[in-house]
Amino acid sequence: MINRDDLGSWLEGPKIEREDGDWPGRRLGLPETGSHSLAPAWRRLLGLLVDWFLCLAIANLIGSSNPFLAPGLFALEHFLLVSTLGYTIGHRIFGIEVRRLDGHVPGFLKALIRTALVVLVIPALIFNRDNRGLHDLAAGTLILKR
């Protein structure tokens, strides 16, 4: 009989066999759980959806038929908020934040790199054993629990 706990959830990401005492973020000096540990995929995904639907709603309120308005608003929101505050509205709602490896807010250049890759979508869907997407690896950032 298969135990439901063995199956996991698609939101938890793939089951990776880890050595005893290993967890995502350990190699980066991050705690396994709690504040300042790496954010799980479900929080990141839901935060992204909140941001996207917010920008889509604003684009619809403006009433423009321009198909690039919602993605442009999304990119602008992501760049401005992540570079200055370290989180978007969706991140804030789900208790996560974007930080550089040294713990500081990303700043303009890292946020620009990260935003460009998030808008392309695919780099954000490919991640390593520390649950860091290609966009975070390229920008030198992480998404942490608050």
The pLDDT-based confidence of 122 (bands split at 50, 70, 90) is confident
The DSSP element (H or E) to which 141 belongs, if any, is strand 141-145
**Lookup: tokens for 13:** 């990401």
CB-based contact 25:130 (threshold 8 Å): yes
- Global confidence as pTM: 0.80
Q: What share of the chain is helix, strand, coil (3-state, %, to 5)?
A: 50, 10, 40
- Total residue length of the chain: 146
Contacts of 125 (CB under 8 A, 6+ apart): 133
Instruction: Give the integer Cα–Cα distance in Å for 81 and 47.
Output: 13
What number is the average pLDDT over the span 90-96?
Answer: 96
What number is the average pLDDT over the span 121-125?
Answer: 83
The pLDDT-based confidence of 6 (bands split at 50, 70, 90) is very low
Q: Which amino acid is at 52?
A: W
39: which DSSP letter?
A: P
- pLDDT for 15 equals 53
Write out pLDDT tens, residues 26-68.
Answer: 888 888 888 888 888 899 999 999 999 999 999 999 987 889 9
- pLDDT for 7 equals 46
- pLDDT for 108 equals 96
